[in-house]
Structure 1
């Protein structure tokens, strides 16, 4: 198999992984506080899911791990509530870099974490089971905090 064909199949697998995740969890990427005024700090709620997809192509194991949505955007000072449902994968222990936030998402359960986005920047939501390519990752989401 050519390298080009291998990468094409991998891209298709990742695309399908995203489609399956949305199909399995109809509330993906819904910001429950959308449409409210942005003049001051807000309560922001986000529903997320875990996605873990495995397959084989010509004897090679292909895996993809992801948070959906893969990125959320809030403003500095917002109180952020993440409700993360474990759709696939036994468990995903995680932390949010730059914030003292840790949790563990287990399949079939909802995990709730909250924090105040008190510093602007881009922060990684990282699964400690799949942090690198050597562990079939990375499984990283991003929290973008915009300055007020």
Structure 2
């Protein structure tokens, strides 16, 4: 009896047409708004709080002449064709840049200011954005992930 019932269920399932997404579905690009903040992780002033940093920031130390900042968030994900609107807040007294060469973006981030910019994510892939100020490299960076527009069509 159980075998007979299972056979009927399998027969009905096989007989049903499985609906698949059509390739005619087109993705409509969106405008994506992101707010990023520049955040100091390790700066020379931290050496007064954390003794182990004296050696690191001293001449010949691994952080000599550098400071460790980051963007928060440091990963952005969009779909191909999306317009990306950026608002970047820099509460610090150091200037920065937001550089994303693959999309010809290079924003100067003045100290204690908010900067806005935008671009169209017209290429698929993973792209690095960073601050191009020498003391902040290579630490201050992040990634823009641009997914194919076909991935967004069903969402």
Q: TM-score normalised by the shorter chain: which range applies?
A: 0.5 to 0.7
TM-score w.r.t. the length of structure 1 is 0.65
The match for 1:25 is none
The match for 1:141 is 142
Q: After the TM superposition, which segments of 4 or more aligned residues of structure 1 sit over 6 Å from their partners?
A: none
- Check if 1:40 corresponds to 2:28: yes
Q: How does 1:31-70 map to 2 (within 5 A)?
A: 39-53=27-41, 54=43, 55-56=46-47, 57-58=51-52, 59-60=54-55, 61=57, 63-70=67-74
Q: Structure 1 unaligned runs (5+)?
A: 1-37
Paired residues, what number? Answer: 107
1:98 partner SS:
helix
CA distance in 1, matches of 2:137, 2:130: 10
Which structure shows the higher helix fraction? 2
Q: Structure 2 unaligned runs (5+)?
A: 1-25, 58-62, 150-155
Q: Is the 8 A contact 1:85 1:107 kept in 2?
A: no
How far residue 93 of structure 1 moved from its aligned partner, in angstroms, is: 2.3
Structure 1's 136 and 99: CA in aligned 2 closer, same or farther, altered over 3 A? closer
